[in-house]
Amino acid sequence: MPDTDTDTPDRTGLPGATAYEPTERTVPTRARERASYDRETVHGILDAAYLCHLGFVRDGAPVVLPTLFGRIGDRLYVHGSTGSRPLRTAGATDPGLAVCLTVTHVDGLVLARSAFHHSINYRSVVVHGTARAVTDPQERRVALDAIVDQVVAGRSADSRPADAKELAATAVIRLDLDEVSAKIRTGGPNDDPEDLALPHWAGVVPVARTYGAPLPSEDLDPAVPVPEYLTALRDGAAPAAP
């Protein structure tokens, strides 16, 4: 099953490098062969997603919230209501908000002959760091566009941008990709040799995300065509998020 362990290759995560630098929090305890710090791998997993889970501690108890995100370079942006306590806590300066952000894709159900060896094929990214509020107006607008385009590439240019009232009600936090790792499982079940003769089906059931035909809003003018980027999304040819 997905976990947050990662490997420790001899690579550096300095800006411009091809890999992120391992830290104490990203060093694995198991399944090290599935881990990666490769920048292209991490970015690819993030760019294929738009839903993340943001974990933090509130009043001494752990909290994990599902939310949308956007990536620009080595920085992630998350938005929410200005009334949200965790977003209010993430000040623009120290101490900020200590968080753990995760993204996971399920690529297959791995069915083994034994219950113990059942698993899933997956791609995951885990980011540790300090989230900080974005207060610069220009950065906030760019971040919000990135979040919209993370869901459907090209959508931010084809919708009304937030007005002053909406921006005032929206909080944006950023999280730098400093402590980050990916983990990937592929392949079939790892049955024990003594179980191979058991009369139970074993293998992988592929899992893939699909999109149906766009359903227009009931109050949409029939003369408004379906945008090409939505057609491409359904056909599986939509461009990747920036």
**Quick check: 53 and 101 in contact, CB under 8 A?**
yes
pLDDT of residue 91: 63
Mean pLDDT (whole number) for 99-113? 97
**Distance (Å, whole) CA 139 – CA 70:** 13
CATH architecture of the domain 24-210 equals Roll (2.30)
Q: How confident is the model at residue 12 (pLDDT cuts 50, 70, 90)?
A: very low
Q: Which of 15-24, 75-84, 142-151, 231-240 has the highest mean pLDDT?
A: 142-151
- Characterize the bridge pairing of strands 97-111 and 170-176: unpaired
- For the cut 50, the answer to whether the pLDDT of residue 11 exceeds it is no
pLDDT of residue 16: 59
pLDDT of residue 92: 58
Mean pLDDT (whole number) for 12-24? 72
Q: Name the amino acid, one letter, at 38.
A: D
Its pTM stands at 0.86
Mean pLDDT (whole number) for 68-94? 79
Mean pLDDT (whole number) for 199-209? 97
Q: How confident is the model at residue 201 (pLDDT cuts 50, 70, 90)?
A: very high
* Distance from the Cα of residue 103 to its chain's centroid: 3
Mapped onto helix, strand or coil, the DSSP state of residue 113 is coil
Percent of the chain, pLDDT > 90?
70
CA distances from 221 to 161, 180, 218, 231 (A): 20, 45, 9, 18
